[in-house]
Structure formats: C-alpha cells, structure tokens
Amino acid sequence: MKKKNIARLAPLGLVAALALSACSANGGDEAVSTDSKATISYAVWDENQVPALKQNIADFNKEYPNIEVKLDVTPWSQFWTKLQTQASSDTLPDVFWMNGPNFQLYAANDQLEPLTGLIDDKKIDPANYPEALDTLYSYDGTQYGVPKDFDTLGLWYNKSILEQAGVEIPTDAWTWDEIHAASKKISDTLGDQGVYGMTTSLTGGQEGYYNSILQAGGEIISEDGKKSGYDSPEAIEGIQFWTDLIADGSMPTLQQLSDTTANVWFTSGKSGFFYSGTWIVSELSEAENTMDLNVAPLPKGERQATVIHGLANVISSKSKNKAASEAFVTYLASKEAQTTQAEMGAANPAFNGTQTAFVDSVPHFDIQVLLDAQDYAYPYPISKNTAAWTQLETDLLPAAFSGDKPVKDVANELATKMNEALAKE
C-alpha cells in the first residue's frame, strides 16, 4: 500500500462535494481496439514505483500503441486533497489509485465506474486476487477496484547498529519485552552519536499503533464498523507500548519524528529498528546502507498480528475515455503487469502466485516474512467515512504518545468521539 498511511481528508466538505458531483452525467465512448486513439490520465502518489509503472505503460502500448497514458504523480500529503477538488469539479483522473479508507466514500457517491462489465466479460477475474482485497473494494455487492498490491508490516533492522550496541538479531519469537529492551540498549549505547533504538510513523496507525493494538488482543473498530474499540483495556495497552518507548528514550520524541520522518531516521543510520511495511522495500533497497538492512516479523504481544491492506486501480465514472481506461486497468490487473512490478521491487503484487518475483527482487532482504505475515494479518480498519475518525486519531493521540495526558483518558475520549462519528454514517 504505498505510501499506504491513512488519508487525512476534510470529511464533511468531501461528502458534500462528492454528493453534488454525483448528480452529473457520466461520459461515454466507443469500444476500444488496437487502433484506438486516446489520451488518459493515471494518478498515483508513490515516486518509488514510477519506474515500474512506466514499464507497465510501455508494455500496455505494445497492444494499444495509440493510447497515451499520462502518469500524474502527486505526493501523498497532497494526493487526497487534489482528488477531492477534482471530484467536486468532475475532473477526476481517468484511472487512479484508491485505498481502503477512502474507497467507500467515493463509491457511495458514484465517483467510481463499476467493473461489472469487465468481470462479466471475463477480462478481469476476481479469483486471481486475495478475497479480502476483492471485498475491500466492493460496495453494495459491486466491485469497483482491481487489487494492485498488498502490504503487511515487519520489523526492519540495521545489522551494523545492532552489532555496535551488542544487540542480537531479532527472531520470529521476539516479544514486546525483547524489542523494548533491545531498543533501550541501542539508545543507551549509541545515544551520544544521535542513534535511537526504535522509530516508526505515529501520524497514522498502519505502521505503528494499529499493529500493537491488535497484538494486545484489541481492535480499532468492531467488525460491523459500528463501534470504536479504543476504550478497551487491550487498545489502551497497545497505545501504551509506544508511549513507553518514547518516555524512556528508546525512540525519538514526536517533535523529532515531525522534524525528521521515520524512514529518514532509519536510512540515515540513526535508528536500529523501524516498523514499516512492504511498500518500503524499494526505498530501502536503494539506500546507501542497504546491505546493513533486513526485516523480521513484528514482535508479539498477547498474540502475533499485523494489519493487512492493499491498493486498487479504479476508473472515474466521469471519464471521457472509458473504454481506453478499462483497457488500461485490465492490463494493470494482469499477471504480466503485476509480475513486472514484483520483479522491479516496486510493490508486493496482489495477483495470486506472482509474489515470488517480489521476494526475489531484493535477495539480501528476507521479504518472505512479509508474505508469511498474511497468516496472522487482520484487515485494515475502515468504515463508510473512515476519514472522520482517523482525523480524531490525529488530533487526540499525540497527547497520549507524548505523555501529556494519561493514555486511558485519551483512549476513552477518542472512543466517545469516534462512536459519535460512526453514528452519523
């Protein structure tokens, strides 16, 4: 997914904008052929995946040489705001990346083209992808997105730093106690060089606290998407895990993580451990210290757990070149296209059976542990208007991580406000 963090939208404004736009008439065009001429746009947010995406486009043009695909890369921090503006003015890209937290909002407001025709014509077979991802991108029984890739989380580590600090290489048997002790030892031993034991992003839950809440036996939201799980003892324990790491200096402060992002701490050799996911493989494989890096399973709490999420390619319902867009999405959904992404180390492909190429793309990383994580993974938490309560996470949880307020008080307040938001969906 990535970057696969949670989108931060202005939910009420977006709902209103999408609802207004949904009244507009859809475009249409002729059936596509190998002689068809068209120009379509393809919007994404991850610069690291651009080389593989350009190769996908080049391969697509072997069959459709006269369909020009213009790749539009917008940084993650601006992608969703831009998409919101485009949706409100019926100028969405013809084809674009979609994530789980935003999917239902766009599907419910008729911004996405159903894939029913492509599926009925057997151009796309949902059986080729993990069922959980097909379900994620279906709304009211209709599938709108083709799974592109999927992410799980792992414990990335720097072998050189661990050796300097006298810390053992992590194994699949590590627990919270062991990762905390190892992180503290690294900070205590190498702190005079500006090195910390642990880092991750706490601006969204995917890389950090969603995993620890699940590992503690809790949940972020109930399975039916109607009730917050934040006020449970297990969720509080999962948040406390990060508060404790920051409190004793095992991890940089929130201000330090705001000044320098977690991936930079890790790739610059200033952090021994790094919680991150499948999407980081490409970036870490190109880091100067890449041969020092590797990945292990996330440490266990009460149970072993990680969040699983994946991106999808979707088509705008307002596309003026719908047939060309469908041809392009059909290609992106193919085994060939997703194998290319795997072989180039861009992403862990969703097409069943193509993941081995991704594992082999960077031989000095044990990427297989990220695939094996599917066995103990939990679906990424979403509801119809996910952004409404993820904004509450952003607003409230920093006070808990920093120790400014008791974790229990923050968690209870978050649960109350999240339940109010869910009741409005």
Query: For residue 2, is it within any domain?
Result: no
Considering the domain architecture, whether residues 176 and 250 belong to the same structural domain is answered as yes
- Decide: 361 and 377 in contact? Cβ < 8 Å: no
257: confidence class by pLDDT, cuts 50, 70, 90: very high
CATH number of the domain bearing residue 235? 3.40.190.10
Query: For residue 28, is it within any domain?
Result: no
Considering the domain architecture, whether residues 255 and 200 belong to the same structural domain is answered as yes
Query: For residue 218, is it within any domain?
Result: yes
Considering the domain architecture, whether residues 407 and 280 belong to the same structural domain is answered as yes
pTM of the predicted protein model: 0.80
Residue 329: domain span = 38-151+309-361
Considering the domain architecture, whether residues 301 and 316 belong to the same structural domain is answered as no
Average pLDDT of the chain, as a whole number:
91
Query: For residue 57, is it within any domain?
Result: yes
Considering the domain architecture, whether residues 168 and 264 belong to the same structural domain is answered as yes
pLDDT at 133 over 90: no
Query: For residue 21, is it within any domain?
Result: no
Give the number of domains in the chain: 2
Considering the domain architecture, whether residues 202 and 314 belong to the same structural domain is answered as no
209 contact partners, CB below 8 Å, separation of at least 6: 202, 238, 239, 241, 242, 397
Tell me the C-alpha distance between 348 and 281, whole Å: 9
7: confidence class by pLDDT, cuts 50, 70, 90: very low
Considering the domain architecture, whether residues 178 and 271 belong to the same structural domain is answered as yes
Considering the domain architecture, whether residues 302 and 412 belong to the same structural domain is answered as yes
Tell me the C-alpha distance between 269 and 160, whole Å: 9
Considering the domain architecture, whether residues 235 and 383 belong to the same structural domain is answered as yes
Considering the domain architecture, whether residues 243 and 266 belong to the same structural domain is answered as yes
pLDDT, tens digit, for every residue of 74-109? 999 899 999 999 999 999 999 999 999 899 889 999
Structure letter (DSSP) for residue 203:
S
282: confidence class by pLDDT, cuts 50, 70, 90: confident
Percent of the chain at pLDDT exceeding 90 = 77
Considering the domain architecture, whether residues 304 and 335 belong to the same structural domain is answered as no
